[in-house]
Amino acid sequence: MGTREEQTRRLLYLSLLVAGGTVLHVIESYLPALGALPGAKLGLANIVTMLALMAYPPADVWKVVGLRVFLGSLLGGTLLTTTFFLSSAGAVGSAIVMMLALKWGKGVISTVGISILGAVAHNLSQLIVAAFLTHSWGIFFYLPYLLLFALPTGYFIGILTRLIRRALPSFFSVESAGNDKNQQDLDHQCGICQ
């Protein structure tokens, strides 16, 4: 765990991540639907999940993700509605996939790739839950379009995450510093954000 100061820092940073995620969640719900596709969206809140994944162990990431969805839905007025279950499914699904991608793809896959995988997982888990809620598998016809859509949004979110992390160096010196070093070296190969 570390010293008292480190613990306080961790609590503070996790709280900041939850707060940021909640705000992004709410802002996102006010954005008009992108295209005519249900479920197609930017995935701004995924930025927070990724930041948490890069600096904290899975247990802390789940706290951030869970609290973000709960508070975001509470403030957005969608708590315990269909929207809430869809949001939860998307958030949990993308967190699981990004967690695995970060674990297995360490040193190989960059933030952008992880973000795209997260976006795809988000769509997939939402569609599965939506299929259960509506008792119709027909909505899987949307999947190809959503997959295509996940590419630009995932790319954009990945770049954003990278830029934000670069602006917050102290964030990532807390724990698992080596883990992040690796990731940053990889990201330096990216030409766009240099």
Binding residues (CB under 8 A) for other proteins: these are: 28-29, 33, 38-39, 41, 78, 82-83, 86-87, 105, 108-110, 112-113, 116-117, 120, 126, 130, 134, 139-141, 143-145, 147-148, 150-151, 155, 186, 189-190
User: Which one, 12 or 148, has the nearer CB to other proteins?
Assistant: 148
Longest Cα–Cα distance of the chain, Å, equals 54
User: Which one, 170 or 189, has the nearer CB to other proteins?
Assistant: 189
- What is the DSSP secondary structure assignment for residue 34, as one 8-state letter? S
Residue 187's CB is within 10 A of a number of other CB atoms, namely: 21
**Residue 101 Cβ vs other proteins, minimum distance, rounded to whole Å:** 9
**Distance in angstroms (rounded) separating the CA atoms of residues 70 and 43:** 16
**Distance in angstroms (rounded) separating the CA atoms of residues 59 and 79:** 23
Say if residues 21 and 49 touch (Cβ distance below 8 Å): yes
User: Which one, 22 or 78, has the nearer CB to other proteins?
Assistant: 78
User: Which one, 11 or 34, has the nearer CB to other proteins?
Assistant: 34
**Residue 14 Cβ vs other proteins, minimum distance, rounded to whole Å:** 24
User: Which one, 41 or 68, has the nearer CB to other proteins?
Assistant: 41
**Residue 85 Cβ vs other proteins, minimum distance, rounded to whole Å:** 10
State the amino acid at position 83 in one-letter form: T
**Residue 34 Cβ vs other proteins, minimum distance, rounded to whole Å:** 12
How would you class 17 by CB atoms within 10 Å of its CB: exposed for 0-12, middle for 13-18, buried for 19 or more?
buried
